[in-house]
Structure 1
Amino acid sequence: MDPNKTKSASEGIAPMGITALNETVLSNQPESRYECPVCLNWLRDPVITTCGHKFCKSCITSWLRNSGHCPIDNINLSMKVDIFPDNYTKREIQEQRMSCPFAAKGCTMKVTPLDLDAHIAACAHNQPDTSAARALPCAFRAVGCTDTFLSQDDINNHLQNDLQKHMSFLMNAYSEIKINNDISNANIDTKEQEAMNLWEAPDKEGAQPAAPLTNTTTLIRALYERVVVLEQRNREQDIVLANLTKQLSALAVAKVKQNSDMLLRYCAGNYVWRVDNFQQRLDAMLKDNYKMLYSPGFYTSPNGYRFCVRLNISPQNPLFFALHVHLMKTENDDCLEWPFNGRISFAMINQVDGERTQRDTMMSNSSLVAFRKPSAEICLRGFGYTEYALLSDVLRNGFVKNDVLVIKVTIKCV
């Protein structure tokens, strides 16, 4: 891997959703014959050059305005005499029909590849599944919390915000258990009284009891019933303690999640992504090139833009990794300026020789869909490098250590 090698960043499409290892197929990725080499998207108003290459009309027009030569083989071209409409390819693309990704939810629409993104954004079935919505109780219900919620996120927020309230419930429950135990120890129940009435030990002077034992069967039955009662109490106390332990564990998990969310929100656009179990994840991606890895979403500021990083096998060259960033939806998107404008830096850390760390920087492009306000949880289009690093270099030259790959991303608004 040459850290000084210049690479060209571009916009790339990714499937809907965000998971650790996405199983979704790139349903709207064009075949190579229908892909514009400039924007890497479906050809729009396709044209063909005299040197035999196809481009979107707007892409090649903008390119020739700045350079004057073909972006593929550097042959000089003129818009007036070397560019011709490719109606045959345009007709082939328009004849293709693709099913909506929400067909499983009932959408029956089939649209052309060029119209698929617009249909997804407006599809009536692009809604969260609320068919199974039901009230979820708080994890501290057993000790007195009566709040209920419609989603796990609401429960997590409740656990984070009402920590003092839940601790009060736990203290009250503990005090109640202790008082009950003291009362039980201070009072002799009817079974104990019955057993004691059946037999009394001799006093210190050796005098015999006033009423000698005559009914052995009654004594044994009374002792047996007393043992059963004590065992039942022990089981009840074990259950109470187990529930308290479970609730304390849930509280600890909520605290860890809160700390993790705080780090992502207050990292100021500087995020270190540690990809653990890397060999296992890589094997899964090599087996199916449409599987990909996503990082957690991190923020440029506490109320700013939110991004995630995507790592996958390059669809154009399976010997390379592709690396892109994707914008994600936040609760503050209406307050932000769109499209996003800023500088994005990648650093794939060499954990053996720091001087061989691969560093790349790119600027956003306001004309790309990748930097517009997200209409879904994660923007379908990312921005980055389709051929970022050779797989063999990453595996052999010190970038993976203890089965962990480290990628640092820095995003600054300008």
Structure 2
Amino acid sequence: MDPNKTKSASEGIAPMGITALNETVLSNQPESRYECPVCLNWLRDPVITTCGHKFCKSCITSWLRNSGHCPIDNINLSMKVDIFPDNYTKREIQEQRMSCPFAAKGCNVKVTPLDLDAHIAACEHNQPDTSAAQTRLPCAFHAVGCKDTFESQEDMNNHLQNDVQKHMSFLMNAYSEIKINNDISNASIDTKEQEAMNLWEAPDKEGAQASAAPLTNTSTLIRALYERVVVLEQRNREQDIVLANLTKQLSALAVAKMKQNSDMLLRYCAGNYIWRVDNFQQRLDAMLKDNYKMLYSPGFYTSPNGYRFCVRLNISPQNPLFFALHVHLMKTENDDCLEWPFNGRISFAMINQLDAERTQRDTMMSNSTLVAFRKPTAEICLRGFGYTEYALVSDVVRNGFVKNDVLVIKVNIKCV
């Protein structure tokens, strides 16, 4: 890699079909060949342009009315001579069939992707379940004090299996109320403690036997001690549950605190962001296997209430021997207060971690005529700005830019 080599920056659209490596693709999303690049939904009344791209008829009509060029490659297009119906793709989409989301409730209908929304709105199985409140089952130990109710027999069986000691305590309390004439029920100390103390006293410190309570009622003593053990075990289990819940809450608070600190660093970095791409070899292997995969950095700000950018790194679609490196504008809550298009200076530095003098540095100025610097209309602007052939993949891997499986890219964005 030649750090002094001059490269020209240009606007670049994220190649269609590219997905982030950590993105989960939902099964009901369209394949890239059936997806409109403008609305990102299934193609409706698909048309194809003379430059070979497919769009919804309404989407490309609205787009050309405002811009007059293809949103993918900026080629000038005319609705009269450059747009043609794509009946082949239309038939393919109409042959697709998707199951109703309420199949679990008994709906066996399969419709085309374009008719799915209308079917969901009219589906007879799309009704709230109102029968649950009317069929709740009381606990089998309801008569002795358990007030829990359940939606199914299976839920009640799980409750009976998990709360054995709780139900045993209810049974013993009920048995005591029926069989034992408790004369100290209004005492300030625990009833079972009082009964045990009346039946037995420990010897004093000098070894002399204390005045012995009558031991004729041995079964009553055993029953009282057993009840006390059950109560203590139940309290111990409740305390374990409380401790487990507190541990989970502390872990959640720690994670939330880390996320808050990370968000603060991104918002107050003043446009100076250092992107550490960890697990680089694994990510690189995935990109080399599928050139349509790419990496995005977290979004960072030029000021606490300023513009928000992210960095995109992927294999160049023009030359798979090179990395492409671009910045993308992202939406913020303050976009209506900012001046558009963005005007500023953008600097890249791919850090050589073994020889600082070989660090690759490049600077480029924004271009107010490009879509990439206009106010974002989506969470992340589809168009980026940067270098389609930024650095040779082999140079990055072998010449000291990757250390401990981490690639470091420094970005500096200043408003002018």
* Band the TM-score falls in, shorter-chain normalisation: 0.5 to 0.7
Q: What is the identity percentage for the equivalent residue pairs of Structure 1 and Structure 2?
A: 95
Is the alpha carbon distance of 1:7 and 1:109 closer, same or farther for their aligned partners in structure 2, counting shifts above 3 Å? Answer: farther
Q: CA RMSD in A?
A: 12.1
Residue 213 of structure 1 deviates from its aligned partner by: 1.2
Instruction: Name which of structure 1's ranges 322-331 and 120-129 shifts more when overlaid on structure 2.
Output: 120-129
Please list every run of 5 or more consecutive structure 1 residues that lacks an aligned counterpart in the other structure: none
Query: What is the CA–CA distance in structure 1 between the aligned matches of 2:142 and 2:341, rounded to whole Å?
Result: 46
Instruction: Name which of structure 1's ranges 143-152 and 220-229 shifts more when overlaid on structure 2.
Output: 143-152
Please list every run of 5 or more consecutive structure 2 residues that lacks an aligned counterpart in the other structure: none
Runs of 4+ in 1 over 4 A off after TM superposition: 15-20, 22-187, 202-208
Residue 252 of structure 1 deviates from its aligned partner by: 2.1
Residue 37 of structure 1 deviates from its aligned partner by: 20
Is the alpha carbon distance of 1:350 and 1:76 closer, same or farther for their aligned partners in structure 2, counting shifts above 3 Å? Answer: same
Matches of residues 302-381 of structure 1 in structure 2 within 5 Å? 302-381=304-383
Residue 39 of structure 1 deviates from its aligned partner by: 22
Is the alpha carbon distance of 1:162 and 1:115 closer, same or farther for their aligned partners in structure 2, counting shifts above 3 Å? Answer: same
Instruction: Name which of structure 1's ranges 329-338 and 231-240 shifts more when overlaid on structure 2.
Output: 231-240
Is the alpha carbon distance of 1:255 and 1:188 closer, same or farther for their aligned partners in structure 2, counting shifts above 3 Å? Answer: same
Instruction: Name which of structure 1's ranges 258-267 and 67-76 shifts more when overlaid on structure 2.
Output: 67-76
* 8 Å contact from structure 1 (residues 38, 55) kept in 2: yes
Is the alpha carbon distance of 1:200 and 1:366 closer, same or farther for their aligned partners in structure 2, counting shifts above 3 Å? Answer: same
Residue 315 of structure 1 deviates from its aligned partner by: 0.7
* 8 Å contact from structure 1 (residues 140, 247) kept in 2: no
Query: What is the CA–CA distance in structure 1 between the aligned matches of 2:269 and 2:169, rounded to whole Å?
Result: 33
Instruction: Name which of structure 1's ranges 219-228 and 293-302 shifts more when overlaid on structure 2.
Output: 219-228
Residue 24 of structure 1 deviates from its aligned partner by: 9.4
Q: Could you say which residue in structure 2 is the equivalent of 1:163? A: 164
- Encode CA deviations 1:336-394: one digit per residue, 9 max, x unaligned: 11111111110000000000000011111111100000000000000001111111000
Corresponding residue SS for 2:30: coil
Is the alpha carbon distance of 1:272 and 1:25 closer, same or farther for their aligned partners in structure 2, counting shifts above 3 Å? Answer: same
* 8 Å contact from structure 2 (residues 19, 293) kept in 1: no
Is the alpha carbon distance of 1:193 and 1:282 closer, same or farther for their aligned partners in structure 2, counting shifts above 3 Å? Answer: same
Residue 199 of structure 1 deviates from its aligned partner by: 1.9
Is the alpha carbon distance of 1:306 and 1:353 closer, same or farther for their aligned partners in structure 2, counting shifts above 3 Å? Answer: same
Residue 30 of structure 1 deviates from its aligned partner by: 18
Instruction: Name which of structure 1's ranges 152-161 and 374-383 shifts more when overlaid on structure 2.
Output: 152-161
* 8 Å contact from structure 2 (residues 98, 116) kept in 1: yes
Instruction: Name which of structure 1's ranges 63-72 and 396-405 shifts more when overlaid on structure 2.
Output: 63-72
Instruction: Name which of structure 1's ranges 214-223 and 342-351 shifts more when overlaid on structure 2.
Output: 214-223
* 8 Å contact from structure 2 (residues 270, 303) kept in 1: yes
Corresponding residue SS for 1:385: strand
Query: What is the CA–CA distance in structure 2 between the aligned matches of 1:153 and 1:305, rounded to whole Å?
Result: 54
Q: Could you say which residue in structure 1 is the equivalent of 2:6? A: 6
Query: What is the CA–CA distance in structure 2 between the aligned matches of 1:343 and 1:364, rounded to whole Å?
Result: 6
* 8 Å contact from structure 2 (residues 196, 225) kept in 1: yes
Query: What is the CA–CA distance in structure 2 between the aligned matches of 1:350 and 1:156, rounded to whole Å?
Result: 63
- Encode CA deviations 1:55-79: one digit per residue, 9 max, x unaligned: 9999999999999999999999999
Query: What is the CA–CA distance in structure 2 between the aligned matches of 1:387 and 1:177, rounded to whole Å?
Result: 87
Residue 162 of structure 1 deviates from its aligned partner by: 36
Residue 190 of structure 1 deviates from its aligned partner by: 1.2
* 8 Å contact from structure 1 (residues 274, 404) kept in 2: yes
Residue 217 of structure 1 deviates from its aligned partner by: 2.6
Is the alpha carbon distance of 1:340 and 1:22 closer, same or farther for their aligned partners in structure 2, counting shifts above 3 Å? Answer: farther
Instruction: Name which of structure 1's ranges 184-193 and 299-308 shifts more when overlaid on structure 2.
Output: 184-193
Instruction: Name which of structure 1's ranges 185-194 and 32-41 shifts more when overlaid on structure 2.
Output: 32-41
Instruction: Name which of structure 1's ranges 157-166 and 342-351 shifts more when overlaid on structure 2.
Output: 157-166
Corresponding residue SS for 2:412: strand
* 8 Å contact from structure 2 (residues 47, 85) kept in 1: yes
- Encode CA deviations 1:210-267: one digit per residue, 9 max, x unaligned: 5441233322222111111011111111222222222222222222111111111111
Q: Kindly tell me the number of residue pairs found equivalent between the two proteins.
A: 413
* 8 Å contact from structure 2 (residues 314, 323) kept in 1: yes
Matches of residues 370-409 of structure 1 in structure 2 within 5 Å? 370-409=372-411
Is the alpha carbon distance of 1:202 and 1:28 closer, same or farther for their aligned partners in structure 2, counting shifts above 3 Å? Answer: closer
Is the alpha carbon distance of 1:120 and 1:278 closer, same or farther for their aligned partners in structure 2, counting shifts above 3 Å? Answer: farther
TM-score (structure 1 length as normaliser): 0.61
Is the alpha carbon distance of 1:97 and 1:398 closer, same or farther for their aligned partners in structure 2, counting shifts above 3 Å? Answer: farther
Instruction: Name which of structure 1's ranges 63-72 and 291-300 shifts more when overlaid on structure 2.
Output: 63-72
Instruction: Name which of structure 1's ranges 107-116 and 5-14 shifts more when overlaid on structure 2.
Output: 107-116
Query: What is the CA–CA distance in structure 2 between the aligned matches of 1:133 and 1:127, rounded to whole Å?
Result: 15
Is the alpha carbon distance of 1:220 and 1:114 closer, same or farther for their aligned partners in structure 2, counting shifts above 3 Å? Answer: closer
Instruction: Name which of structure 1's ranges 13-22 and 139-148 shifts more when overlaid on structure 2.
Output: 139-148
TM-score (structure 2 length as normaliser): 0.61
